[in-house]
Structure 1
Amino acid sequence: MNSPMIYEFRRPAQIEQGRTYPALFLMHGIGSNEQNMLSLVNGLEDRFYIFSIRGHLPQPPGFAFFSIQGYGKPHREVFDEGIRKLTSFIDYACDEYPIDVSQLFLLGFSQGAILSMTLGLTLGSRIKGIIALSGYVPAFVKEEYKIQPVDKLSLFISHGEMDQVLPFDWGLANNEYFRGLGANVTFKTYQEGHTVSMENHQDFMNWLMDNVDQ
């Protein structure tokens, strides 16, 4: 089966025959690429199969997974197609690699965080954990998508209090929304703009290791 998306791949140096491994799917922000996310997970390749996915739309100087028609409003058809492609990619990875399908994690920044949270809502219990850094859930996702139960889902949601791209209030709304659905949410805020600080990075790495089965 051919991959539905372009991706960078990392895995443990020593693979044990017959063993399955947790998987971590990385999604970058608009205008970025699959290389930029890998620095956030240095060292995790010893424990995880890591898939850093490239957005399928050209967005100089990099790529995007969807386009924007207004503030906080993705183009619906383009967004839907991005979600379909990412869902197909997760299916592909689970079929092609020795992955423990009970331990699928998503990590996204900005546009990647938007997609990660949406995939958590559409895939429900298929996903074990999500790290959503500086994103939001589009209104049409909440209102029109078929939302799966997320009471088994764990999330690390973070947002900069001085975010100049996606307002801090949107981070607060993410926390309230997923808690309202019964998800297990860790919500962290930082005295930062639209970025991932060293403290934020350390916090989500610790969260991830606490949530993956040893």
Structure 2
Amino acid sequence: MTDVLPLTTEPESGLQYRLRPAAGRPATRLLLLHGVGGNETNLLNIANAIDPRIEIAFVRGPLTFGPDQYAWFPVRFGPNGPEIDAARADASRVQLITLLRAFRAQDGAGSALPAVIAGFSQGGIMSASVGLTSPDDVTAFAVLCGRILPEIDPLIAPRDALRSLHALIVHGRFDDKLPVAWADTADAKLTALGVAHDTRLYEAGHELTQEMAADFGRWVDARAGLN
């Protein structure tokens, strides 16, 4: 599939992505973000669960960790939980917002596509960071086996601006990388912020099972008004 989807660099954000064009006029644009140490091809199979009328951009993290291994920010798992490079995480957040706006500018005035952002693990973390701080740029976000960074609290948009958002939290009950308590924390935070959301827990670890992918696909289709 990577031969069919060439790697493109967006000059303003500096981010690279592979685009699955929509069949016909796109209903929505979906940005999919991989986890730490992965790359944009990790989530290609999810496209099978997404309505073909939705355009999908599989975005590569800006940090290189090794051959075909990328990330959105450095993280270390210590005895007190994940310790992140908050400055680098924020820089990636800004890059993603810039990418979303560049896409919208390409669409042209009056024809900009609504956008959904979602990701696995660290990609889910970035999706929440973008959605909660820049709700004018997305209609929805999904955190797939990830968490919401407390570091973004000072940047979260006003409650009124968050009313138009919808969010999805997907997590495995047996996740040994980011324990399921992070899903509970995210659920409580979104409730406190007044963000409409669904939280779904699965008999799974730190992974995206077929059941998770299918449920996520139905959620995306619903955001685009396709089911």
User: Hey, what does 1:138 align to over in structure 2?
Assistant: 149
Calculate the aligned-residue CA RMSD, in Å. 2.1
Q: Which residue of structure 1 lines up, in the alignment, with residue 114 of structure 2? A: 103
Is the Cα contact below 8 Å between 1:102 and 1:126 reproduced in 2? no
Aligned to 2:96: 86
Between the two proteins, the alignment pairs up a number of residues equal to 209
Residues 111-190 of structure 1: matches in 2 within 5 Å? 111-142=122-153, 144-148=154-158, 149-190=161-202
Task: Determine the structure 1 residue equivalent to 2:20.
Answer: 10
Other structure's SS at 1:36 match: helix
Could you tell me how far apart the structure 2 residues matched to 1:72 and 1:146 are? 21
* Secondary structure of 2:41 counterpart: coil
* AA in 1 matched with 2:185: A
Q: 2:72 aligns with which of 65, 72, 96?
A: 65
Residue in 1 that maps onto 2:222: 210
1:45 Cα shift?
A: 6.4
Work out the CA distance in 1 between the residues paired with 2:112 and 2:145. 26
Match of 2:204 in 1: 192
Q: How high is the TM-score relative to the length of structure 2?
A: 0.84
List gaps (5 residues or longer) in structure 2. 1-9
In the alignment, is the contact (CA less than 8 A) between 2:50 and 2:221 conserved in 1?
A: no
Name the SS for the 1:186 alignment partner.
Answer: strand
Gaps of 5+ in 1: none
Identify the range of structure 1 (24-33 vs 4-13) with the bigger mean alpha-carbon deviation: 4-13
Q: What fraction of aligned residue pairs are identical, expressed as a percent?
A: 25
* Cα distance, 1:43 vs structure 2: 5.9
Residue identity in the other structure for 1:127: V
8 A contact 2:105–2:112 mirrored in 1: no
Q: Deviations over 1:99-130 (max 9, x none)?
A: 95462101100000000011111112431111
**Counterpart in the other structure of 1:23:** 29
Q: Do 1:101 and 1:126's aligned partners in 2 also have CA atoms closer than 8 Å?
A: no
Shift of 1:13: 4.2
Q: Tell me the secondary structure at the aligned position of residue 183 of structure 2.
A: helix
> 1:6-64: per-residue Cα shift (whole Å, max 9, x none)?
1001112445xxxx641000100001111111211226362122111100101235100
Greater displacement, 109-118 / 126-135: 126-135
Moved over 3 A (4+): 97-102
Q: Equivalent residue for 2:43?
A: 37
